Amino acid sequence: MKVLVIGLGGVTNGGKTTLAEKLKKMLPNCDIISQDDFFKPESEVETDERGFKLYDVLDALYMDEMVKSIHNWMKNPGSSGVVTEEPENTCDNLRNTDHVYILIVEGFLLYNYEPLNELWNRRYFLTLPYEECKRRRSTRVYQPADTPGYFDGHVWPMYLKYKSELEENASNIGCILLEWGPEEREVRRLLHCYCAVRMGTTVPFLDQTLKLRKKLRSSTA
């Protein structure tokens, strides 16, 4: 049995959850763990002198519990609720993979916590320009709700801080930066990663890429 743990990290509202869900539909034996499920209760999250709740820091999360959940999945992925039916959009190289399991871990602070960095097979970091990120954030409803100035005073500065740390951290040399652009590039790279592990080699996926391009264009039309 082979297991593959893929990190989908990056900016808030960068499309991590959406991409993870699409990949789960495309890849056999695939499961997802979301970092958002490990936030501490509001009463345990610190407040700064401006009245901002400091959610975009590691101390706002039960990171040890998150690592434990990933380890538990790795020990026995077959009993973790992984979907094993035929994926929606597969190819010959993705069939007959009952002995390969893939876990996608998505979140905004994945690569700044060293115990997690020991687990990744592949790491991806999604980015957005400031204006687009702020626009998307303004359309989301959070509990508690963002207070005036919260994005510029806390969310974006923390993103830049952790992104800078990521770039300086030698253990993250293998992290692939995915700049804002067509979603098909991320899907193609992750499918390539999966199939390389599945087959123990690197193989071309031209036919699969063409199918993905058509599917993604039709889904955004």
57 Cα distance to chain centroid: 17
Q: What are phi and psi of 47, to 5 degrees?
A: -120, 135
Pairing status of strand 2-10 against strand 100-106: parallel
Pairing status of strand 122-126 against strand 100-106: unpaired
CA dist., res. 34 & res. 147, Å (int): 24
β-bridge mates for residue 29, sequence order:
none
- Residue 37 is a catalytic residue: no
| Residue of 31, 36, 48, 64 marked catalytic | 36
Just list the catalytic residues: 36
